[in-house]
Amino acid sequence: MDDKLQAFSAWLQQLSAETQRLQLLLEQERTALEARQAEALVSLSEEKGKTVTRMNELMLQLSGSAKVGEDFIQNILDALGLDEDSEVARQWREIRQMTSRCREMNEANGALISLLQESNRQIMSLFFGQRREQIDYGADGQARVNGDARLLGAG
């Protein structure tokens, strides 16, 4: 294996390790979301940020840009004279699959976060921001709304 190919393979291994780490963090984030573990979410978010930063730094090492399309990597594979059956090409396909899975997981986690935030907003509104309307019945048996009821959670 020549030096350029060896260097590119080592770079792919680093990118693969960071992508696997991101996937694990996203799985842990999903678990924390489902368990409503807010403290864990803070540290997971920080770790996700660090991992994405390392991934961007790896892209910068290779291309000078953190935003590189798949064509760029394919051009490197072509320049190295690698075919689709090579070990390095296989590594790249695996990274692309993991990255796609990470994107899907991140979108799903984001949607769950939005749902949980809306649920929390509604609960907070119920306890602290909306008047509770009490329905009672008058002497004539007709239902009436008593708008003088105090706020839920208010002393």
Across the range 123-132, mean pLDDT stands at: 69
Tell me, yes or no, whether 37 lies in a domain. yes
Tell me, yes or no, whether 130 lies in a domain. no
Higher pLDDT, 128 or 132: 128
Residue 138 in contact with residue 144, Cβ under 8 Å?
yes
Angle at 64 (CA atoms; ends 24, 83), nearest 5 degrees = 70
Q: List, for residues 54-87, the tens digit of each pLDDT value.
A: 999 998 888 876 666 778 888 888 888 888 889 9
The structure's pTM equals 0.74
Tell me, yes or no, whether 132 lies in a domain. no
Tell me, yes or no, whether 99 lies in a domain. yes
Tell me, yes or no, whether 115 lies in a domain. yes
Tell me, yes or no, whether 136 lies in a domain. no
CATH code of the domain covering residue 76: 1.20.58.300
* CB contact set of 100 (below 8 Å; sequence gap of 6+): none
| 7: containing domain | 3-125
Tell me, yes or no, whether 11 lies in a domain. yes
Residue where the block lists tokens 């390095």: 88
Q: What average pLDDT does the chain have?
A: 83
Question: Rounded to whole angstroms, how far apart are CA atoms 133 and 149?
Answer: 6
- pLDDT reported for residue 138: 55
Number of domains in the chain: 1
Across the range 37-51, mean pLDDT stands at: 93
